[in-house]
Structures are given as structure tokens and as C-alpha cells.
């Protein structure tokens, strides 16, 4: 029955994380997977999450099924977080929001919906993008293409080429965009660039699909929602998958959502119905616990304030690590420009290291990066940043 099955080469990110766990070297540094570690190298459990969980345990509620679309209090809070409570798109009821199994679950449900209802649409992702975007949309039966994005020469965005390519896309194409903290490069569009892009998307009859996995890690919780609000205010229809894995440090709980912004409330009702059907066919309904935790943290004013302070602290620690890395590398290799570490945002930076240099870092120095040269800056700490920078300087020299 199974002799024809091909072996799975493994996932480039998750496989590396497994290899790191098995590495016996005591000085190892995990800069591979997109996980925020605190300065002691631990994945934090946020105080707001601990308190919300305690409240839920104390209340002892039943563990019934959630509806296919998830918990109502979570879905409402997600809309207000993404769009702002008073935004016309929220108050008019023209957004269909589902609580999903992480934002990956949201991306997948959205992909299946697109395949069913917009079967001729092709997907365009940035070059490069998160490895799993292509795999996920292709897994939904969609054709995936790229548009120009990262410019290795400048460590910034090829914005002119990006706009030109997007202008030429067939009407109805799906354009996957990272709302903030681009994964893997850390290179984001500025608000002014979003303001140039939005009319191009609108004029071209394109359907944006935003991925917002790192809200709060860029410039702030509100600031990082700039693209979401710009698209909604311009009247575009679009998808947005968002995650609480990083922002609430809830990785394994799979806390995320999918929102589809429609033209009016009647359309949103139809879209929500078909999204519910898609969920039922995939995993029936999302998990109760993460929905309840997210709802409580976002809706309770004290827990919300504590969460916002924690997100700010995580963001600032990453920025401090960027500065330390930049300082040590600039001192060790004064002929090279490492300013991109300072301008890139969020958990990731594209280091410019070749796959061979990444292999040397791992083999000779126990420093783990994805082979594309992507570094998870959130894995740096005051204890390892000097050693990591020295190892990088050694392989770059
Ligand atoms: C990453 O890019 O490392 C994270 O989003 C984790 C993942 O699932 O790949």
C-alpha cells in the first residue's frame, strides 16, 4: 500500500529547530525559528495570559465545541484590534472574521475558499516570502507566482519594480502582502509606500491577502495595523490572516484569525457562511482555550494594558539586540555596512550570509540560522550576542 510513498525532505524552518534541540553544544544559539525568547533564553508566558488562564480555570466552564467560526468575543476583539473599534468597516458589519488554528489555519481556510469561489485567480507572493506561503497555497490547488520585493544590493525594498509588476497583474489576482515585519527579510513598506500601493491594487482590481503575524513587533500594535486600515479605508475587498503566536507568546496554542473585508454586510454574511463550511470540512471548529484567552486579554482593560506593555518590552528588547549586533559587527568588520540590521523591523533580518556561510556558522559555531540567511533576532540575548556577532564576523571575513 505504501511502497510508493516518497520520503519527506522536512521543513526548512521546523527541521532546523529540531536539529537545534538535539545539538549537545552548551553555547548553541537558536536564531532559526520565529520565536521570541527573553533575555534568559526562555519563551515567556505573559502575565496577562497566566492571569486569563487562571480566571478560566477558576470559572470551570464546560469544554463544549465552539461554533465553526470560533468564539464571538474573540472574533469581535480581533476586528477591533485590527481595524480600530470605530472603523466604518467594523461598525457596518462588512468584515467576516473567523477564529482559526493559528494564522496558518486562517491562510489555509482562505486559500481553500479562493480555490472554490475564485478558481481562476493566481496567487502572487513577494520574492522572497515565508517558505510555507507557497506550500500552503499550492496545497490548496492554487498557482503561486512571485513579484519583486527584496533588493540585496541595498538591503531594502525594490519598490519601483514591485509597483510595476503589481500594475501588470491580471485583474482578480491574489497579492499576498506582509502587513508588517516582513518574513524573512525584516524589510517593510513605509506608510508612504503603502499609500502609493493601495490605489494600484484598487485600480488593478486585485485582491490583497495580508499576513499579519507579528503585530506589535515592528513599530507598535496600532502602527503595525497601518496597512490593514489603509486598505479598509480605501474600500478594497481583502483577506487578512493574523496571529497571536508571537504577540501573546501563545505558539503551541494556535491562536489566530482570518478576516475577509467585503463591500457590505450582506456580502460578509455570504462569505462568512462559506468560510464556516470550509472550516467544517477542514477541522470542524477551532480550539476553545486559545479563543478564550485571546478574548479575555483583549477585552479586559487591566489584562489588555499588561499585554500592551509586554509587547512593547519585547519589541524594545529586539531593537536593543539589533543595536548590539550592529555595534559588534561594525567594530569587527569596519569595511562593511551593517546598517540594515537597524532599519529592518520585527523578529527577522536578512543577513546576506550565503547558504555555505550559514552552514559554517552552524557547524563551527553552533549558531543556527535558516539557510536563506534569515536570522531570528529575537533569539539573541545579552549573553550570546557578542559570541554570535563574532562567529558571523569570522564566517564573513
Ligand atoms: C517562522 O517563520 O519561523 C515562524 O513563522 C514559524 C513557522 O511556522 O515557520
Is the confidence at residue 323, as pLDDT, over 90? yes
Cell readout for 120 is 481562476
Q: How far apart are CA 52 and CA 150, in angstroms?
A: 40
Nearest alpha carbon, ligand 1 atom 6:
34
CA dist 237 to 165, 170, 271, Å?
20, 16, 11
Which pLDDT score is estimated for 376?
Answer: 96
Which pLDDT score is estimated for 352?
Answer: 87
Least confident of 12-16, 127-131, 146-150, 171-175: 12-16
Ligand 1 center–CA 331 separation, angstroms: 31
Among 17, 31, 130, the mutation site with the greatest number of ligand 1 atoms within 8 A of its Cβ is: 130
Q: Based on the residue annotation, tell me whether 211 is a catalytic residue of this protein.
A: yes
Average pLDDT for residues 287-307, to the nearest whole number? 98
Residue % of the chain over a pLDDT of 90: 96
CB atoms within 10 A of CB 362: 21
Which pLDDT score is estimated for 10?
Answer: 87
121: phi then psi, degrees, rounded to nearest 5: -75, 135
pLDDT tens for each residue of 53-67: 999 999 999 999 999
Confidence of residue 12 (pLDDT cuts 50, 70, 90): confident
The residue among 332, 367, 335, 338 whose CA lies nearest residue 352 is: 338
Which pLDDT score is estimated for 154?
Answer: 86
Ligand 1 center–CA 37 separation, angstroms: 14
Please report which helix (H) or strand (E) contains residue 202, including its range: helix 191-203
Burial class of residue 72, CB neighbours in 10 A (0-12, 13-18, 19+): middle
Least confident of 20-24, 147-151, 153-157, 389-393: 153-157
Q: How far apart are CA 293 and CA 53, in angstroms?
A: 6
Burial 135-171 (b: 16+ CB within 10 A, else e): ebbeebebebeebbbbbeeebbbbbeebbebbeebee
Which pLDDT score is estimated for 39?
Answer: 96
Mean pLDDT of all residues belonging to the chain:
96
Cell readout for 147 is 513579484
- Concatenating the DSSP letter of every residue in 231-254 gives HHHTT--EEEEEE-TTTTT-GGG-
Cell readout for 45 is 508566558
Ligand 1 center–CA 34 separation, angstroms: 5
- Which of 130, 158, 307, 310 is labelled catalytic? 130
- Which of 108, 158, 194, 211 is labelled catalytic? 211
Cell readout for 105 is 489555519
Which pLDDT score is estimated for 42?
Answer: 95
Which pLDDT score is estimated for 258?
Answer: 98
pLDDT tens for each residue of 212-258: 999 999 999 999 999 999 999 999 999 999 999 999 999 999 999 99
Q: How far apart are CA 139 and CA 157, in angstroms?
A: 28
Ligand 1 site, CB within 6 A:
13, 33-34, 130, 132, 183
Provide the 3-class DSSP secondary structure of residue 347: coil
Among 30, 31, 34, the mutation site with the greatest number of ligand 1 atoms within 8 A of its Cβ is: 34
Is the confidence at residue 11, as pLDDT, over 90? no
pLDDT tens for each residue of 112-168: 999 999 999 999 999 999 989 999 999 999 999 999 999 998 889 999 999 999 999
Angle at 310 between CA 77 and CA 46, to 5 degrees: 80
Burial class of residue 127, CB neighbours in 10 A (0-12, 13-18, 19+): middle
Which pLDDT score is estimated for 216?
Answer: 97
Is the confidence at residue 9, as pLDDT, over 90? no
Q: Based on the residue annotation, tell me whether 246 is a catalytic residue of this protein.
A: yes
CA dist 5 to 141, 207, 307, Å?
20, 37, 46
Nearest alpha carbon, ligand 1 atom 9:
13
Amino acid at each position: 500500500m505504501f511502497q510508493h510513498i516518497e520520503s519527506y525532505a522536512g521543513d526548512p524552518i521546523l527541521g532546523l529547530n529540531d536539529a537545534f534541540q538535539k545539538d549537545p553544544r552548551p553555547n548553541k544559539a537558536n536564531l532559526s525559528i520565529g520565536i521570541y525568547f527573553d533575555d534568559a533564553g526562555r519563551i515567556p508566558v505573559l502575565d496577562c495570559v497566566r492571569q486569563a488562564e487562571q480566571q478560566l480555570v477558576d470559572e470551570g466552564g464546560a469544554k463544549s465545541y465552539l461554533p465553526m467560526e470560533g468564539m464571538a468575543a474573540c472574533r469581535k476583539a480581533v476586528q477591533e484590534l485590527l481595524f480600530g473599534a470605530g472603523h466604518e468597516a467594523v461598525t457596518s458589519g462588512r468584515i467576516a472574521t473567523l477564529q482559526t488554528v493559528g494564522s496558518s489555519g486562517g491562510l489555509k481556510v482562505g486559500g481553500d475558499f479562493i480555490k472554490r469561489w475564485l478558481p481562476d485567480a493566481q496567487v502572487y507572493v513577494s520574492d522572497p516570502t515565508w517558505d510555507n506561503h507557497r506550500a500552503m497555497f499550492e496545497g490548496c490547488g492554487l498557482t503561486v507566482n512571485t513579484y519583486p520585493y527584496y533588493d540585496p544590493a541595498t538591503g531594502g525594498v525594490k519598490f519601483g519594480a514591485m509597483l510595476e509588476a503589481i500594475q501588470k497583474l491580471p485583474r482578480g489576482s491574489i497579492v499576498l502582502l506582509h502587513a508588517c515585519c516582513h518574513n524573512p527579510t525584516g524589510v517593510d513598506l513605509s506608510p508612504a509606500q503603502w499609500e502609493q500601493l493601495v490605489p494600484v491594487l484598487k485600480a488593478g482590481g486585485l485582491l490583497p491577502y495580508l499576513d499579519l503575524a507579528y503585530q506589535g513587533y515592528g513599530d507598535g500594535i496600532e502602527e503595525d495595523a497601518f496597512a490593514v486600515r489603509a486598505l479598509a479605508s480605501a474600500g478594497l475587498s481583502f483577506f487578512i490572516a493574523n496571529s497571536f503566536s508571537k504577540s501573546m507568546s501563545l505558539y503551541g496554542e494556535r491562536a489566530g484569525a482570518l478576516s475577509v473585508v467585503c463591500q457590505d454586510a450582506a456580502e460578509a454574511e455570504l462569505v462568512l457562511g462559506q468560510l464556516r463550511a470550509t472550516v467544517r470540512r477542514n477541522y470542524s471548529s477551532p480550539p476553545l482555550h486559545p479563543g478564550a484567552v485571546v478574548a479575555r486579554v483583549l477585552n479586559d482593560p487591566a489584562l489588555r494594558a499588561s499585554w500592551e506593555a509586554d509587547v512593547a518590552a519585547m519589541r524594545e528588547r529586539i531593537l536593543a539586540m539589533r543595536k548590539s549586533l550592529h555595534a559588534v559587527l561594525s567594530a569587527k568588520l569596519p569595511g562593511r555596512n551593517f546598517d540594515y540590521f537597524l532599519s529592518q523591523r520585527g523578529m527577522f533580518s536578512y543577513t546576506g550570509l550565503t547558504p555555505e556561510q550559514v552552514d559554517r556558522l552552524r557547524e563551527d559555531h553552533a549558531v543556527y540560522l535558516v539557510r536563506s540567511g534569515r536570522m531570528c533576532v529575537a533569539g539573541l540575548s545579552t549573553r550570546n550576542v557578542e559570541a554570535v556577532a563574532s562567529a558571523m564576523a569570522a564566517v564573513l571575513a
